[in-house]
Structure 1
Amino acid sequence: MGNVTDVSPIWYWLVFFAYIAFLIGVGLNAYKKQKSIGNAEEESNDYWITGRSQPAYMVGMSVASGWMLIGMITWMTWATYDLGLSGLWVVAIPWFLSNIWQFLMARPLRRIKAISQCQMLEKRFGLPARILSAPINIFSYTIWSAAELYAASLIMAPALHISIEAMIIIYAIPIAMYMWMGGFRSVINANIVQFFMGTIILLVTSIAIFLTANGIASAHGTTIWGMLQAQPIVNSLAYPVDAAKNSTSFFAFVSLSFPLIVMLGLVPGWAAAEDFWLKAQAARTTREARLGSLYSILFNTVIIVIPAAIIGILGLIVRGLAGEHVGLALGF
């Protein structure tokens, strides 16, 4: 099977430079737009929240693109690969609940005339809330950004034939530049392009793996569902699941305790993520912000969660890790 070493690194460098040029172009375009604004306050608002000018569909696509992260996509894929349909309780269901929470928060958030999350908390609860939240925000997003850069560099460095450390630096500098030049408008504009890039990758991959799995199932005289029913749950992390269940079981856990703990840990944190708070403020109106959150749920469900889940669970068939278990169960 081919890998990144089968292609000349020159091609990867060309694609990488093209993408970096695009990011810098986005930042420069936003910078010029903001500098053409005569009013300093309006320029500042455009830099931080795009001047409250975004339509609902842009808000929805931008929020959705925020979930098109290497970590989120691979986590969702791993969850259904490792736990079958029960993996939806580990990622997809908590994610859906957090998105509903964000929809309900859109109206209250818009009532708070502020830019950053910490400012919103200050206006609602006073200065102590801002003092408490600021260090937490700085720490969380610094660690998160570093993790994303490191994860991307792990993938890109071998293709470009450079060290991971060099990749992190080369990647971080243009990202910092385009965000510094255009602020949140740069982020929104880049998000839209990234949304379509991620959509193409996920939909093409999910369709390809479905066709491949269906071909394998047909060759064995059965169906995809039949093969998955014969596949025991992998459960590589030894979660509390019922050993008698299979990969098609929607709830294979021995009790409600584990899913509830997962939800308590994930839902509040995801709902409070600053990404949506800022994008809700960037919408034209409160109605557009609420509609944007609904678009986000639709885009995320159809373009991210379902395809990633399909890729994960059908990987059991395509990668052949069901192997002996499936063969024995089907009498081969």
Structure 2
Amino acid sequence: MNIIDMSVIILYLAIIAFVGLLGARRAKTSEDYIVAGRNLSFPMYFGCMAALTLGGAATIGTAKLGYQSGLSGMWFVTSQGIGLVLLSLFLAKKIFNLRVLTISEMLENRFSVEARLISSLVSITYTAMLTVTQIIGIGSVLKVWLGWNFTLSIIVAGGIVLFYTVLGGMWSVTMTDIVQFIVMSIGIFAVMLPMSLSKAGGWEGLHEKLPSTYFDLSVMGGADIFKSLLLYALGIVVGQDVWQRVFTARSLKTSRYGLIAAGGYSLMYAITVAIIGMCAFAVLPTITDPQNAFASMAITTLPPGVLGIVLAGVLSALMSTASGTLIASSTLIVNDIITRFWKRDMNEKRFLIISRLTTLSVGVFSMVCALWIQDILVALDIAFAVLSGALFFPIIFGFFWKRVTARAVFYSILISSVVILISLMMKGTTSIVPILYGLVTSCVTIVLFSYILRDSVKPTVNNEEEHNQKFHTL
């Protein structure tokens, strides 16, 4: 990059750091740090939800898939958009009325402390691995832009995100997400898409230069499309990072309509970035690593100054999701493990200190994992396979089936998690088998055990029926 583009990036990072500091001033209580005081209006909520969903994997990963397969590369992000809409239609009201901080806390209220513990471990694995994917994404683009080695890029990427997330929690994340959402939208839709199409000779030029299969939405194959829907649509529905954003909404109406709007935005983003990947293949068909398709296309296509704006947009997408998943991991550890099992009498000041230290620790751990894994889509597949396969049915049955028992939920999460991890080791992350095995195991276990194993410890109300009725009225 030339001095103009570098100046734009440096200015952008300085603005993000300043906005993050402003957010830190508002994080005075545990609810401020974890759910932004439950006070976000529709514009802020929508922007934050979209920024969370459309991170490094959405941008770098979809461009990679567009480069390799064409328009069908849109399915991975489109599936996330479908998940947001499903969440709005079927669960938003129930989630919003719970007034909890985590999915695991909900499972304890409905079932048992054991369900809370094991589900929190699964969710921590998911959110931490999502953080890893974003750091990998930032590292890969910094490597292409600045010529740094991957290790240095990862260290810089993790440091940027850690700085404002540790300081201000969800308020810093929210305020930086609004800036990042605006920059991301301008960079992708107003600059990168039209200039990429222009460089490739327009839509007609793409038809001339690319195989016809690149314009077929089903060319990825039914199995891969079905895998995307299972992994990402179901994963979004039961993801702690998404639920935590739902908790930040000021009202139920804001929550539901914001989710639908973010889902629609995801569809437009998926199509746009897939087309940019196709343009990259038309202009740069010899890229060694398709994961660098977006960054390489930007450097090749855009003039000085404009390149800096677009690259700031990519950084925005990556950083917004990384900070959201990072605070989600920290919340799970502090709320569902530390304060639940060890330090139950913490005051607000001590809670904030422990939350910041935990956020820092998770961030450092994620950076180490990013250096080890290095492939953004592999990390993403692991995260969503574990989450969707192990938690989808316990949460859905918990909301909609009164007969399900705490012991059934516990064994369902435990057994399905083991099955998924073994399947991932045996079949690999690209296989649809681990998620299918996990879902089937989870469903069969929870149904079977609900009929043959009754809970020995009843919920702490007059009787189990009263407890179930109280929960389901929400």
Could you list the runs of 5+ residues in structure 2 that have no partner in the other structure? 287-474
Instruction: State yes or no: 1:227 paired with 2:204.
Output: no
Q: Is the 8 A contact 1:206 1:311 kept in 2?
A: yes
Which aligned pairs between 1:1-332 and structure 2 lie closer than 5 A?
4=1, 7=2, 12=6, 14-15=7-8, 17-35=10-28, 43-89=29-75, 91-104=76-89, 105-157=91-143, 159-160=145-146, 162-203=148-189, 204-214=191-201, 223-224=204-205, 226-227=207-208, 231-232=211-212, 246-252=213-219, 256-302=222-268, 304-319=269-284
Aligned amino acid, residue 247 of structure 2: Q
Aligned amino acid, residue 259 of structure 2: S
TM-score normalized with structure 1 length = 0.74
Paired residue secondary structure (1:251): coil
Q: Is the 8 A contact 1:225 1:248 kept in 2?
A: no
Q: CA, structure 1 residues 114+231, in 2 after alignment: closer, same or farther (shift >3 Å)?
A: same
Q: 1:210 Cα shift?
A: 2.1
Paired residue secondary structure (2:99): coil
Paired residue secondary structure (1:110): helix
Once superposed, which parts of structure 1, at least 4 consecutive aligned residues long, lie more than 4 Å away? 14-17, 157-163
Distance 1:67 1:58 in 2: 14
How many residues align? The count is 284
Distance 2:214 2:144 in 1: 34
Distance 1:160 1:148 in 2: 18
Could you list the runs of 5+ residues in structure 1 that have no partner in the other structure? 36-42, 218-222, 233-245, 322-332
Q: Is the 8 A contact 1:63 1:275 kept in 2?
A: no
Q: Is the 8 A contact 1:210 1:314 kept in 2?
A: yes
Q: Is the 8 A contact 1:65 1:195 kept in 2?
A: yes
Paired residue secondary structure (2:214): coil
Aligned residues: CA RMSD: 2.9
Aligned amino acid, residue 174 of structure 2: I
Q: CA, structure 1 residues 110+207, in 2 after alignment: closer, same or farther (shift >3 Å)?
A: same
Q: Is the 8 A contact 2:78 2:266 kept in 1?
A: no
Q: CA, structure 1 residues 92+227, in 2 after alignment: closer, same or farther (shift >3 Å)?
A: farther
Q: 1:110 Cα shift?
A: 0.6
> Structure with the greater relative contact order (CA < 8 A, sep ≥ 6): 1 or 2?
1
Give per-residue Cα distances to partners, 1:300-322, cap 9 Å, x unaligned: 233x222112212344434468x
Distance 1:170 1:259 in 2: 34
Q: Is the 8 A contact 2:80 2:266 kept in 1?
A: no
Q: CA, structure 1 residues 180+319, in 2 after alignment: closer, same or farther (shift >3 Å)?
A: closer
